[in-house]
A = this chain, B = another copy of it.
Amino acid sequence: MEDLLEIGGKKIACRLFVGTGKYAGNAQMREALLAAEADVVTVALRRVDSGAKAENILDYIPPSCTVMINTSGARNAEEAIRIARLAKAAGAGNWIKIEVIADSKYLLPDNLETLKATETLVKEGFVVFPYMSPDLSMARRLADCGAAAVMPLGSPIGTNRGVRTRELVEILIREIQVPIIVDAGLGKPSDACLCMEMGCSAVMVNTAIAVSPNPVDLARAFSLAVKAGRLAYRSGMPERAVEARASSPLTGFLRETDDEKVRP
C-alpha cells in the first residue's frame, strides 16, 4: 500500500520538500533535487522572472517536480499577492508558498499579513502554502480560509537549529486538519526524522542541504530520514518508560514526596 500525500489536488510520494536557494550552482542544485527524489520544489519568483538572463533556474528542475513559487522578498500581504499573480502570469503555476517577512534579523514571518495574503489568494484559485510562526489561533484561521497546508517554522530560516518550536508544532498537528509541514531551521536529517515521527505530513529543507559540504549526499540523507520518520509514524512506536523493568514504579521527581522519601 503506497503512502501518498494528497495535497493541492496532487498525490505526492516524497515528503521532503526542497528549496533552491544558496547552492553553489544550478547543476549542483539539480543533482541535489534528484538525490532527494523531490516531488515539490520551491523557487523564489525573483530568481525565475529573469528575463534576459542566460540561465533560467527552472530549466534545472526535473520535470517530475511540482514547482511552488515562494514570495520571498515580500514585506506585506500586498507584495505577496502581487508576486503570486506575476508568477501565475509568467506560467509558473498556481502553487504559492507565502513568505511575508518584516523582520530582517531573524527572517520571521508576519502571521497577520500572511493570513491576509492567504485569504485573497485562495479566493483567486491559488493553492496556498503559508509559512508561519507556530500559533494555534492563526493556524486555525489559515486552515479555515482554505490554505492547502500550514508551514510552521522549526527555528529561524537558515539557522539549522532544529525543531525548537516542538511544543507548539505538536499542538498544530493535533488540532489542525490540513497537513502540517515544518519549514525552516531543520539542520540535520535526525531533525527531519523527528518531525515526521511527530506526525508532520512533510518537511521543507533548503539551507541545511545547500550550504553543506556535500549537498548531494546530504539531500539523499535527508530523504532517507524523512522516509524513516514517516514509516515509524505509520507503524507506531513503543512507549517510553522510566525504569528498565516496571516492577516497582518510581516516584518521579516532580511528584509529591513525603517526609520519609525526602533525602538528606
Q: State the CA gap A110–B137 with chains docked (Å).
A: 5
Min C-beta distance of A2 to chain B, whole Å: 13
Q: Is the CB of B198 within 8 A of A105?
A: no
Report A222-264 residues with CB < 8 Å from chain B CB.
222-225, 227-229, 231-245, 247-248, 250, 252-257, 262-264
The residue on B at minimum CB distance from A7 is: B264
Q: Is the CB of A243 within 8 A of B112?
A: no
CB contact under 8 A between A256 and B213, given known A7-B264, A189-B232, A218-B235:
yes
Question: A170-210 toward B: CB 8 Å interface, digit per residue (1/0)?
Answer: 11011100011000000111110110011101000001100
Binds B, one of A59-67, A87-95, A151-159: A151-159
Q: Is the CB of B232 within 8 A of A188?
A: yes
Taking CB atoms, residues of chain B closer than 8 Å to A170 are 253
- Asked if A56 is at the interface (CB within 8 A of a chain B CB), the reply is no
Q: State the CA gap A26–B133 with chains docked (Å).
A: 40
Min C-beta distance of A20 to chain B, whole Å: 16
Report A88-124 residues with CB < 8 Å from chain B CB.
102-113, 115
**Could you jot down 27 A-B contacts, CB within 8 Å?**
A5-B264, A103-B136, A104-B247, A105-B247, A110-B137, A111-B138, A133-B137, A135-B135, A157-B244, A159-B241, A164-B166, A165-B167, A179-B263, A188-B232, A189-B229, A190-B228, A207-B238, A211-B238, A213-B236, A214-B236, A218-B232, A223-B228, A224-B224, A224-B227, A224-B231, A236-B256, A237-B256
Q: Is the CB of A179 within 8 A of B264?
A: yes
Q: Is the CB of B106 within 8 A of A244?
A: yes
Q: State the CA gap A90–B27 with chains docked (Å).
A: 58
Q: Is the CB of A112 within 8 A of B141?
A: yes
Q: Which of B112, B231, B240 contacts A137 (CB 8 A)?
A: B112
